[in-house]
Chains A and B, each alone.
Chain A
Amino acid sequence: MIDIERIKHLTYVDVTLWLMRAVVVLLVLAGTLGTIMKGRYLIEQWVDMLVFGLTMGGIYALVALGYTMVYGILRLINFAHGDIFMTGAYTAYFVAGPLGKAGFLEEHLLVGMVLITVTAMAVCTAFALLVERLCYRPFRHVRTLAPLICAIGASFVLQHSFRGMYGSTVRAYPDVTLFESQVDILGFNFLFIQLLVIAAAMVSMYALYLIVHKTKMGTAMRAVSEDRDASALMGIDVNKVIIFTFILGGSMAGIGGVMYAFVFKQVYFFMGFFPGIKAFSAAVLGGIGNVPGAMLGGFFLGVVESVGPALFLDGLGIVAPYQLRDLIAFTMLVMVLIFRPQGILGERLARARA
């Protein structure tokens, strides 16, 4: 039976929101149906899109972890995290470039990759700590927008310092034959690098999960994010925990940066900005402050962004649907925030913070 009382109490805002929801769902359905009826894409193409989406998703997820852990502990948007991601990838170019040129990367791929990744992780961690020390620590007890602006400032400083240091040209990561080769699984062809990125992202995230959930430091991290004052009273060195969080976030960003660089083959000083914003959206999507949420949000965002234009928009007869990739990503973000403000995996922070 329809609840008359509830309908009477609907305001125009509720009605608008319901309409919006209906319109989006209808558009998605119509688009999907249209695309399937048209049948313009082969099954191989769908699988390709899916795998590319998962690749991007893995990278987003790795970066998103940095946002989400810092938010969980400091209740602060680490706006410079996207640029920290850049610092590692850009600096590791100076390891990857010479190694590639010397042919070392082809012969001893594993050693080479370890060298590159460790460099990137170290640089990212160093800059994450530097930003924490200079921009966030002074504001630990301040509840204004000052730390956000400080973080934005840090983001500018990182970008333009690196532009000045390494130049504004785009630098190309070396080609590796193995990465470009096709792998045949179940009759589908995949690029090796994409599978590698997905696997590496999964492994690093699993390692992170173990650190956060099984080690003493991880327990301390979770305690601090639960209640900083109480955990300080329990004898946890909050300062150490915060530093550890930035180290973890920085190293994840470092791994993500190297992967990004090998997938897209190029690094430059502005490369961190948009992936940073996307990764942040992914963190929010999964429920910010929530580690598994960031992983889920990252993969989800990557896949929707990659499959979405073809699946939803092409069927509606929209020209050049790939230009609207970001539209899909952000629409989904806004829809999730409107109807599930705590993100997919939820977290009680949403209200507590307000």
Chain B
Amino acid sequence: MAFDVIASTFQQKAIAKTPWRKTVEVGLIGFGLMIYFNIVGLTGQFMERWIIESMATLAHTIFLGIAIGAGALAAHRNETLSPGARLVHAALAGLIAGAGLAILVEVLNNFNVRFMFVAMSPKLLAFLSFGVNAELASLALLAGGVVLGAFGGMLYSVPGIVRKPLVVGLASVWFVGLFAELILLASQFEVMEDIRNFFFTWEGQRLEGAIVVFCVAVGLSAFWTARGESIMTNYRGKGARQQKGIRYSLWLLAGVLFILFPMAAGSFFGQVLMLVGLYALMGMGLNIEIGLAGLLDMGFVAFFATGAYTIALFTVPESDVACVTPPCDYLIKIIDRPLTWFEALPLAMLASLVMGVLFGIPVLKVRGDYLAVATLGLGEIIRVVAVSDMAAPMLGGSQGLLSIPRPVLFDFEFSDPIHLFYLTLVSTIVAAYFAWALENSRLGRAWMAIREDEDVGQALGVNLVDVKLLAYGLGAVFAGLAGAIFAAMLASIYPHSFQLLISINILALIIVGGIGSLPGVIVGSAMLIGTPELLREFGEFRFLAYGIVLVIMMRVLPLGLWPSSVRKRELQTLEEAERLLKDRGAEGQKA
């Protein structure tokens, strides 16, 4: 059938590769990764960071990881071979990966390439060659590659009951080491001092601590590997009501722990979680536009800015810049004082709503990728105007607006990041409720109808104009709320805070979370906003990691971390259809 032919022309032609070729390919990936890590300067950054104090730095662990991974992958690609042959292949892959480092050592030792690659310093050479001479070091690196590759291959071959706990144990030690400083920061209580000092110093994780972490993780993981199945069976055997009870109590426990966490852990975590909350708020807004209504918006930051600027204009006391603006002026004539933050909040949300609708009107008829560009342009227009001298008498120009008062509620001032975190948390919960209610309303269904097919939606009686404008407007309200809190957090706003990058970040987080899914927004925000904030010590390399995570996430989970149930079902149907198609294609070829 014609349809089958079309489908099959697009299947990647599976060229039969010999085992050796597969292994060499895997090895070359490892080789490339080794060189890449060094050449972009990640090693330079990572070699000063202990995972286990005075034993292994982050850079070491990454090299170990690459070599072991190459071995395991080579074994995996050649799983049809006998265990012995697999081991040889794994060792070869490890050797090639190790050769990456060995070649680097040789190059560094003989040439000066620093005018081009700034990271290729003598310090790097010293690190890579462990202080011994270069020839010996390269041999050692090659040998190390072989051993680690073989170890990886062995790891792949041993039964799951051994492998899983081992991997989990190593990974736990690594993560605890990576976040050692943060764990220390979060546990500054008197009672914990001894425990703390046993596990960590300010330099990193101690060896004793690492061993304990490893043992505990191995134990737990082994227990779960052995007994997990029966526990789950036990859980499934219970009645629906009991299951629900267990689930809800677990969620409640997690919620309470989460709420108490910043109070115990300190203001740094409050700040990070608050940012996560702000982005989750904006994500929910954008999710209405993209996830529900299918309107690709890359100028979302405009609404965020509207919220922040509205708050600033109405609350800044008698400031020379702010109060020449008409709205502020009239209001001050009526009520004779600048508003408080809470009084200005509804105005900020209203302003965002209006901005959303105004933003939506011109692009109503623009579709698909054109819409992305049009909204990107609109967002940039708003930023350019905010920065310019033209609007400076109103919006303060590039210097922004200063001295925004903190929110005050019944004489309680939200001044600390932790207070503001709770404000964000409450707003996020309320907003999430509204987002959920909207999704399941008549309007929400209308949005989904036009997302799937505008023309059919219209034919079924959906008023395209109203529904689309509502999507822009209501989506913008969420961003306006986030902007209002953002203004209170910084106590001043600058147009440079409202870059295109924010729109891109929000778009990325809702897609990584799983488009159209509310929990996905929060998961995505925690992953893409929270994690980079926690890893601030790595400076600009966070953005590199951010990019890599985006690429990998999309390739591994194109539907996101927590896809909405509708999308999941759609995909399952699609996969089934594809499988059927494939089966029929195979039959056709046989016949």
| Interface residue ranges, A against B (CB under 8 Å) | 11, 13, 16-17, 20, 71, 75, 77, 94, 134-135, 138-142, 144-150, 152-161, 163-168, 229, 232-233, 238, 277, 280-281, 284, 288, 318-320, 323-324, 326-327, 330-331, 333-334, 337-338, 341, 350-351, 353-354
Contact with A along B388-404 (1 / 0, CB 8 A): 11100000000000000
**Contacts A320-B390, A323-B390; A338 near B10 (Cβ below 8 A):** no
- Can you offer 8 A-B residue contacts whose CB atoms are under 8 A? A146-B558, A153-B554, A164-B39, A277-B500, A319-B389, A330-B378, A334-B378, A354-B454
Q: Is the interface of A mostly helix, strand, loop or mixed?
A: helix
| B26 part of interface (Cβ distance < 8 Å) | no
Q: A153-B550, A330-B380 are in contact. Are A337 and B366 (CB under 8 A)?
A: yes
Q: Are A159 and B558 in contact (CB under 8 A)?
A: no
**A333→B296 CA distance, assembly (Å):** 17
Q: How close is A348's CB to chain B, nearest CB, in angstroms? A: 13
A166 touches B117 (CB 8 A): yes
Closest Cβ of chain B to A182, distance in Å, is 32
Q: What are the 3 A-B residue pairs with the smallest beta carbon separation, nearest first?
A: A156-B547, A153-B550, A164-B40
- Cα–Cα distance between A185 and B162 once the two chains are bound (Å): 81
Pairwise interchain contact B367-A353, C-beta atoms closer than 8 A: yes
B294: nearest chain-A partner, CB-CB: A354
Q: Are B117 and A20 in contact (CB under 8 A)?
A: no
Which residues of chain A are near B572, meaning CB under 8 Å?
A: none
Q: Is B42's beta carbon under 8 Å from chain A?
A: yes
Partner of A284, one of B364, B373, B540: B373
Q: Binary interface profile of B, 538-555, with partner A (CB < 8 Å = 1, else 0)?
A: 001101101111110111
Q: Decide: A142 near B558, CB < 8 A? Known: A77-B372, A338-B366, A338-B374.
A: yes
B-side interface residues toward A, CB under 8 Å? Answer: 5-6, 9-10, 36, 39-42, 115-119, 290, 296, 361-370, 372-374, 376-378, 380-381, 384-385, 387-390, 454, 465, 500, 504, 507-508, 511-512, 515, 540-541, 543-544, 546-551, 553-555, 558-559
Q: How far is the CA of A155 from the CA of B547 in the complex (A)?
A: 7
Q: Which residue of B lies closest to A325 (CB)?
A: B384
Complex interface: chain B residues within 8 A of A94 (CB): 115-116
- A164-B42, A165-B117, A334-B381 known; A341-B370 Cβ under 8 A: yes
Name the residue on B nearest A157 (C-beta). B547
Contacts of A75 in B (CB 8 A): 369
A-B contacts at CB below 8 angstroms, number = 188
Inter-chain contacts of B507 with A (CB < 8 A) = 145, 149, 152
**Which residues of A have CB within 8 Å of B500?**
277
Using CB atoms, name the residue of chain B closest to A228. B10
A164 CA / B36 CA spacing, docked (Å): 10
Name B515's contact: one of A145, A233, A323, A324 (CB within 8 Å).
A145
* Closest partner residue, chain A, to B367 (CB atom): A354
Asked if B555 and A150 make an inter-chain contact with CB atoms under 8 angstroms apart, the answer reads yes
Q: Which of B5, B364, B374, B558 contacts A13 (CB 8 A)?
A: B364
A318 pairs with B6, CB closer than 8 A: no
- Chain B: CB-nearest residue to A335: B362
Which B residues are CB-close (under 8 A) to A158? 547
Assuming A17-B361, A232-B9, is B374 touching A334 (CB within 8 A)? yes
Residue on A nearest B36 in the bound complex, by CB: A161
Given known A-B contacts A160-B541, A164-B41, A327 and B547 have beta carbons under 8 A apart: no
A77 to B551, Cβ gap below 8 A? no
Shortest distance between the CB of B529 and any CB in chain A (Å): 14
Which among B370, B550, B554 has the greatest number of chain A C-beta atoms within 10 A?
B554
| Contact call B362/A167, Cβ cutoff below 8 A | no
Measured CB to CB, the closest approach of chain A to B390, in angstroms, equals: 5
Known: A139-B558, A166-B116. A319 touches B10 (CB 8 A): no
Per the bound structure, the CA–CA distance linking A140 and B9 in Å amounts to 12
Instruction: Please tell me if the beta carbons of A288 and B369 are within 8 angstroms of each other in the complex.
Output: yes
Are the C-beta atoms of B5 and A326 separated by less than 8 Å? no
Give the chain A neighbours of B508 by CB distance below 8 A: 149, 152-153
Kindly list chain A residues whose C-beta atoms are within 8 Å of the C-beta of B390: 318-320, 323-324
Closest Cβ of chain B: how far from A300's Cβ, in Å? Answer: 15
Residues of A contacting B361 with CB < 8 Å? Answer: 13, 16-17
With known contacts A142-B558, A156-B546, A337–B551 Cβ distance under 8 A: no
Q: Which residues of B contact A341 (CB under 8 A)?
A: 365-367, 370
Which residues in B have their C-beta under 8 angstroms from that of A351? Answer: 367
Distance of A139 Cα from B385 Cα, bound (Å): 38
Q: Check if B551 sits within 8 Å of A353, measured CB to CB.
A: no
Contacts of B296 in A (CB 8 A): 145
Cβ–Cβ < 8 Å partners of A150 in chain B: 550-551, 554-555
